[in-house]
Amino acid sequence: MQIFSCPFCGPRPEYEFHFGGDLGNHRPEGADVSPEVWAQYLHFRNNPKGIAQEIWLHMTCGEIFAMQRDTVSMAAEPGQPLIPEETRP
Amino acid sequence: MTRHYSALSLLKEGFNNQQGWVKAWENPRPKPRYDIVIIGGGGHGLATAYYLAKTHGITNVAVIEKGWLGGGNTGRNTTVVRSNYFFPESVRLYDLALKLYEGLSRELNYNIMLSQRGMISLAHTPAEMEMSARVVNAMQINGTDAELFGPEDVRRVLPIYNFGPKARYPALGGVWQGRSGTARHDAVAWGYARAASRLGVDIIQQCEVQDFIIEGGRCRGVVTSHGTIRADRVGMAVAGHSSQMSAKAGFRLPIVSYALQACVSEPVKPVLDTIVLSPGAGTYASQSDKGEMVVGGGLDRIPSYGQRGNLPVLETVVSGLVEMFPSFRQLKLMRHWAGIVDVVPDSSPIIGESPLPGLFLNCGWGTGGFKSIPAGGTLLAHLLATGTHHDISRPFDLDRFARGRLIDEAAGSGIAH
């Protein structure tokens, strides 16, 4: 059992978490986005071997956060909030 | 010297103290240039080389493998072959593979130990029974064999199943495909390698592709740990590491790599003579010719390149298995491993020319790569030989993601990959 660290709940077992894709994969804006750009956003992934910057969802608390992970050794850094605490409204 | 495998040559070599056998394949040094280079010496890569030589008469071909033949997912799967899919495009693809498998031992003169013992995909609830009926209808319309099983049929093919009144997974029936079966996975790789080598293909092991030669916007060959190899066309069949290879060529793929686990028990007397899959319990199993229970399940849910599994998925798989087959509780697990598979959003493979002209893709098979080896080889060989799609591979081109024309087998047939 691997333990991931939710920035809001602390260390929790891996089955409470869901992978959410690459960090920094932002939705294309505007009315004239080409199908190729949409496909890149929706389906294409970095899928790095080694250090990966990822988005994860902690399903039990519902928070979405950033996590750095090694996809070979599986070592995971503690999750980071996407918006720093002090700048939250 | 004995080259052909038969009962007669076995007898002949028996008198000869087994000294006359020709090596199954040659181990040449790479030449500086080939017509076609194939990256990846697993089932798909070796099958591609064989069909290039056999069907298209192109023998100036090299297969480049960084490890050893069939040492990746070809040697890590649970050896099931089947074609129980939902969409017509998928059925054409996987049924081509199954048909080729049916004649493969004879064609390659290599016993792949195909055993068409039938497979039952169980339904445990009335809703799952309705889905099973829908899948059976689709399969029959698509022209492949399928039968809707009721509880009595399950009792007939799985007498050791837990039919007790308190069973957690009651067997209401399911989808039966009688032509499904198992084949010896190493033999598929070795058989294709031997046949391709005999037709003149160079099989180069322990040679890693480090980069592509790109000139004038086209792929012109590969840079390897054994030097530069130029080629008119390059094919890649490197499941699990497709994204790593495409990054060297300068593009991304709609793929995330996940670990898929499997395990085998100690060998016991024959007790299970079909393949049983329970999507509800997240488990499938068959008994190998040695008597081991070969058990697998769903993907680990954490993207990974580490070829080892994690415990939560193994717990789901094993707890589902012993609930369905209480007598298996006493079995000891002997080995447990994982392979890294290419997972695509619509659970269908990607076959076609890549964004880098001259480089052709065979990837994205998810958890279903082994069963499709003969089809993947046939279709990639067609692409490499002609530069154009075979009718069957056209729907599986990379352009389907921008066109929105996905072939979503996860939604269609409930296949997890």
A40-84: pLDDT as tens digits:
999 999 999 999 999 999 999 999 999 999 999 999 999 999 987
The answer to whether residue B36 is domain-embedded is yes
Considering the domain architecture, whether residues B369 and B404 belong to the same structural domain is answered as yes
Domain boundary residue among B287, B319, B343? Answer: B343
pLDDT tens digits for range B195-249? 999 999 999 999 999 999 999 999 999 999 999 999 999 999 999 999 999 999 9
Contacts with A39 from chain B: Cβ below 8 Å:
254, 401-402
Cα(B226)–Cα(B206) distance, integer angstroms = 9
State the pLDDT confidence band at B63, using cuts at 50, 70 and 90.
very high
Considering the domain architecture, whether residues B304 and B316 belong to the same structural domain is answered as yes
Considering the domain architecture, whether residues B248 and B368 belong to the same structural domain is answered as yes
% of chain B exceeding 70 in pLDDT: 98
Considering the domain architecture, whether residues B248 and B380 belong to the same structural domain is answered as yes
Which of B350, B397, B401 should we substitute to test contact with A (largest number of A Cβ atoms within 10 Å)? B401
pLDDT tens digits for range B286-341? 999 999 999 999 999 899 999 888 889 999 999 999 999 999 999 999 999 999 99
Stated as kind and residue range, the H or E segment containing B385 is helix B373-386
Domain boundary residue among B283, B314, B343? Answer: B343
pLDDT beyond 80 at B86: yes
Q: Which amino acid is at B75?
A: G
In Å, how far from its chain's centre is CA B89?
18
Chain A contact residues (CB < 8 Å to B)? 1-2, 13-15, 18-19, 35-36, 38-40, 42-50, 52, 54, 71-74
Considering the domain architecture, whether residues B333 and B236 belong to the same structural domain is answered as no
The answer to whether residue B417 is domain-embedded is no
Q: Is B401 on the interface with A (CB under 8 A)?
A: yes
Contacts with A48 from chain B: Cβ below 8 Å:
243
The answer to whether residue B202 is domain-embedded is yes
| Domain with B59 in it | 30-110+184-253+346-412
* Structure tokens that stand for B109 in this block: 């003169």
Stated as kind and residue range, the H or E segment containing B234 is strand B227-236
Treating both helix axes as pointing N-terminal to C-terminal, what angle do B88-102 and B373-386 enclose, rounded to 10 degrees?
Answer: 100
- The nearest alpha carbon in chain B to A43 belongs to B254
Considering the domain architecture, whether residues B149 and B234 belong to the same structural domain is answered as no
pLDDT beyond 60 at B36: yes
Q: Helices in B57-161 by DSSP H: which ranges?
A: 88-102, 104-108, 126-141, 151-157
The answer to whether residue B312 is domain-embedded is yes
Considering the domain architecture, whether residues B267 and B242 belong to the same structural domain is answered as no
Pick from A67, A45, A72, A47: which is nearest to A56 by CA?
A67
- The nearest alpha carbon in chain A to B399 belongs to A36
- Determine whether the interchain pair B243/A74 forms a contact, defined as Cβ–Cβ distance below 8 Å: no
Query: What is the number of other CB atoms lying within 10 angstroms of the CB of residue A31?
Result: 4
pLDDT beyond 80 at B31: yes
Q: Is B301 on the interface with A (CB under 8 A)?
A: yes
Considering the domain architecture, whether residues B58 and B198 belong to the same structural domain is answered as yes
- Determine whether the interchain pair A72/B241 forms a contact, defined as Cβ–Cβ distance below 8 Å: no
* Structure tokens that stand for A75 in this block: 């070592």
Considering the domain architecture, whether residues B146 and B200 belong to the same structural domain is answered as no
Q: Considering its fold, how many domains does chain B have in total?
A: 2
Phi, psi of B191 (to 5 degrees): -60, -45
Pick from B314, B249, B220, B281: which is nearest to B32 by CA?
B220
Domain containing residue B359: CATH number:
3.50.50.60
The answer to whether residue B6 is domain-embedded is no
- Determine whether the interchain pair B257/A71 forms a contact, defined as Cβ–Cβ distance below 8 Å: yes
Using CB atoms, pick whichever of A2, A14, A47 lies closest to residue B256.
A47
> Residue A66, SS3?
strand
pLDDT of residue B310: 85
- Determine whether the interchain pair B302/A46 forms a contact, defined as Cβ–Cβ distance below 8 Å: no
pLDDT beyond 70 at B416: no
- Determine whether the interchain pair A39/B402 forms a contact, defined as Cβ–Cβ distance below 8 Å: yes
The answer to whether residue B311 is domain-embedded is yes
- What rounded mean pLDDT belongs to chain B? 95
Considering the domain architecture, whether residues B197 and B304 belong to the same structural domain is answered as no
Considering the domain architecture, whether residues B229 and B275 belong to the same structural domain is answered as no
Distances (CA, A) of B125 to B158, B324, B364: 18, 14, 31
Pairing of strands A17-22, B227-236: unpaired
The answer to whether residue B9 is domain-embedded is no
Using CB atoms, pick whichever of A13, A44, A71 lies closest to residue B252.
A44
- Determine whether the interchain pair A1/B311 forms a contact, defined as Cβ–Cβ distance below 8 Å: yes
Considering the domain architecture, whether residues B103 and B205 belong to the same structural domain is answered as yes
Distances (CA, A) of B72 to B98, B337, B369: 21, 11, 11
Domain boundary residue among B290, B318, B343? Answer: B343
Partners of residue B37 on adjacent β-strands: B62, B234
Contacts with A75 from chain B: Cβ below 8 Å:
none
* Structure tokens that stand for B33 in this block: 């240039």
Domain containing residue B170: CATH number:
3.30.9.10
- The nearest alpha carbon in chain A to B246 belongs to A46
Domains of chain A: 3-87 (3.30.2270.10)
